């Protein structure tokens, strides 16, 4: 694991941002599925400093979330910890569009993707410069129970259209992936990948609630190292 800004020249890299409050088995499952489906070299786990759509902030501070994420991905050869979405010096919100532009500049000759769960995708139209994000880094979206993506077009950012990709989907014997093509009014086109076969029903807020209610800290929903960290640092109490 190489902690840093995330430069991965010449490789297939997916940015995976989020609060990671705490990082749980669902995050790891999504990242492994994306690696298997799209032959990714690296998934960059990037805890966010301040999410614009969460003005109340995260339950745990950035340093704790960074430490837990480091523990969660420790030993995974295709997972790296990235500081690209760390708190800004002025304390302003982190915007995915700007983060991806910085990452793309660090990937000469490489391919950059933006990995997210279905819950994030369903909110994408509310993000800053949302309609431009897929053309900076093609989206990889993992499904989750209770949030079907049968009607993808209905939740796209304004102005974007989607159609099935004319070519065959990326070959993978391990993970189903559906390919689409996004288009903008200006004629820009970008691939879009859906991982429909995942059945992950893990909520970070429910994990925090379990800790507050003195239940076992996440039990099988968390890596053991993360559960131990939460307990030893008295988080979410």
Q: Each residue's pLDDT tens digit in the chain (237 positions)?
A: 445 444 455 799 999 999 999 999 989 999 999 999 999 999 999 999 998 888 676 789 999 999 999 999 999 999 999 999 999 999 899 999 999 999 999 887 889 999 998 888 989 999 999 999 999 999 999 876 555 666 778 899 999 999 988 876 665 556 788 899 999 999 999 999 998 877 666 677 788 877 766 555 445 789 999 999 999 999 998
**Where does residue 57 fall: left (phi above 0), alpha (psi -120 to 50 degrees), or beta otherwise?**
left
Taking the whole predicted model, whether its pTM rises above 0.75 is answered as: yes
Please tell me the class of the 12-202 domain: alpha beta
Short-list 61, 11, 21, CA closest to 45: 21
The residues facing 111 across adjacent strands are: 12
């Amino acid at each position: 694991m190489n902690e840093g800004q995330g430069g991965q020249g010449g490789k297939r890299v997916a940015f995976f941002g989020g609060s990671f409050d705490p990082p749980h088995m669902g995050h790891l499952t999504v990242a492994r599925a994306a690696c298997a489906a799209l032959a990714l070299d690296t998934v960059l786990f990037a805890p966010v400093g301040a999410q614009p759509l969460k003005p109340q902030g995260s339950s745990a501070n950035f340093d704790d979330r960074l430490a837990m994420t480091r523990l969660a991905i420790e030993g995974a050869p295709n997972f790296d910890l990235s500081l690209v979405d760390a708190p800004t010096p002025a304390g302003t919100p982190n915007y995915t569009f700007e983060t991806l532009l910085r990452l793309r500049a660090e990937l000469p000759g490489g391919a950059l993707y933006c990995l997210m769960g279905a819950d994030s995708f369903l909110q994408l139209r509310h993000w800053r410069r949302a309609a431009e994000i897929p053309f900076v880094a093609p989206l990889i979206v993992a499904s989750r129970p209770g949030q079907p993506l049968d009607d993808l077009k209905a939740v796209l950012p304004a102005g974007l259209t989607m159609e099935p990709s004319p070519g065959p989907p990326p070959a993978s014997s391990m993970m189903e992936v559906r390919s689409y093509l996004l288009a903008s009014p200006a004629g820009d086109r970008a691939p879009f990948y859906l991982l429909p076969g995942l059945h992950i029903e893990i909520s970070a807020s429910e994990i925090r609630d379990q800790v507050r209610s003195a239940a076992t800290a996440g039990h099988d929903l968390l890596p053991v190292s993360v559960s131990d960290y939460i307990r030893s640092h008295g988080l979410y109490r």
